[in-house]
Amino acid sequence: MPKLYWEDFIAGQVVEYGPRLVTADEIKEFAAAFDPQPMHLDEDAARASMIGGLCASGWHTCSIMMRLIVDGFILNSSSMGSPGVDEVRWLAPVRPGDRLTVRASVLETRASNSRPDRGFAKFCFDMFNAAGTRVMTLTTPLMFGRREQGDVQA
């Protein structure tokens, strides 16, 4: 597969990645390190909470999404990271045993105004479990190197 540069991302492109299995052990291991709340650590406490059972930290879900897209296309691209995330919504709990897939949609692209070597592609990443329930949606501009340098606006 040829390496992907900024020019290769076109608004309207939609690609799916995954699935990835989420285990109870991984949910608890991530939570112990970064989000030690009972609903992410302990089955009994989680059952008694608002969420009704053990579920992954939202940060864990974001991180799993990242790994799916890194393996899916980022490692095969001229990725230069991302300045941030416009919005993340956690729509449904991610449970042990879930197999998660990500649908990556390119919303828009633009060249950098200040740097001729790079551009931005704004993505929406929708994450689904095997039942087809959308568990997370996230909108973020990703930065990629350009195959050919462009003009820079003064």
Partner 1 sequence: MSYFEDIAIGQRTELGTHTFTAEEIKAFARKYDPQLFHVDEAAAARSHFGALCASGWHTGAVGMRLFVDTRTREDDARRARGEQVANYGVSPGMRDVRWTKPVYVGDTISYASEIVDLRPVASRPGWGLVSARTTGTNQHGDIVYAAVGAVFVQRRPG
Q: What residues line the site for partner 1 (CB under 8 A)? A: 33-37, 39, 49-51, 57-59, 62-64, 66-67, 70, 74-75, 79-90, 93
Answer for the pair 101, 16: CB distance below 8 angstroms, yes or no: yes
Report the residue number, 12 or 54, with the smaller CB distance to partner 1. 54
**How many whole angstroms from its chain centre is CA 52?**
25
Nearest to partner 1 of 62, 100 (CB atom) = 62
Please name the helix (run of DSSP H) or strand (run of DSSP E) that holds residue 26, with its range, or none: helix 24-34
Looking at the Cβ atoms of 52 and 97, the one nearer to partner 1 is 52
Looking at residue 86, its amino acid is: D
Shortest separation between residue 70's beta carbon and partner 1, angstroms: 6
Question: Of the two residues 12 and 38, which places its CB atom closer to partner 1 in the complex?
Answer: 38
CB of residue 33 to partner 1, shortest distance in Å: 7
Name the minimum Å distance from CB 44 to partner 1: 16
Alpha carbon separation from 106 to 2, 24, 43, 115, 124 (Å, rounded): 19, 32, 38, 21, 7
CA separation for the pair 125, 105 (Å, rounded): 6
